[in-house]
Structure 1
Amino acid sequence: MSIFTQEDLLLYLYKETSTEQNNLIEAALQQDYELRQSLVSLQESIQLLDQPTIEPRTEVVLSVLNYAREAVETGA
């Protein structure tokens, strides 16, 4: 069982840990299967979050653009 939390792993993934912490986490990852699985799960979740899953309807985009154009034209 590892002493590292998911928060520690997130900091590690986003390169917000010190060199010493990196070394400790990397050593723990080599020995702890569950910790490695947690890291992989976090990496997959980050990749999913980085991908847009839906797009706005064309009508919505056009409405926003028309509203912005009208606001510029009227000086509002």
Structure 2
Amino acid sequence: MPILFTPEDLLQYLYKETSPAKTRAIEDALHSDWALREKLEVLITSSESLGTTLESPRAVAVQNVLNYARETAVAESL
């Protein structure tokens, strides 16, 4: 019977927080279980995207704020 690993187990493995025995068990399971490998890949991709920072807002967002400010300023001046 295969050992079932939770997403929490995979996260601990990803961040190297598992015991040596659990690390070996997860690595053995990764060799034979493609679904587990896919889950790990999703976690890896997600963790990599968490590290990406948004350095500036999209131009559309800035334009929306400026348009709202103009509309509000005109309405208040009347």
Confirm or deny a common fold (TM above 0.5).
yes
State yes or no: 1:39 paired with 2:40. Answer: yes
Larger radius of gyration: 2
TM-score normalized by the length of structure 2: 0.66
Identity of aligned residues (%): 45
For these two proteins, the number of residue pairs brought into alignment is 56
What secondary structure does 2:29 align onto? Answer: helix
Aligned mates of 1:2, 1:35 — CA distance in 2: 11
Q: What is the Cα-based RMSD across aligned positions, in Å? A: 1.6
Q: CA deviation at 1:53?
A: 2.6
Which blocks of at least 5 consecutive residues in structure 1 are unaligned? Answer: 57-76
Which blocks of at least 5 consecutive residues in structure 2 are unaligned? Answer: 58-78
Checking the alignment, whether the CA contact within 8 Å between 1:2 and 1:32 is kept in structure 2 is no
TM-score normalized by the length of structure 1: 0.67
Q: CA deviation at 1:2?
A: 5.1
Alignment match, 1:28: 29
Please list, as runs of the form range in 1=range in 2, the aligned pairs for 1:1-76 lying within 5 A after superposition: 3-55=4-56
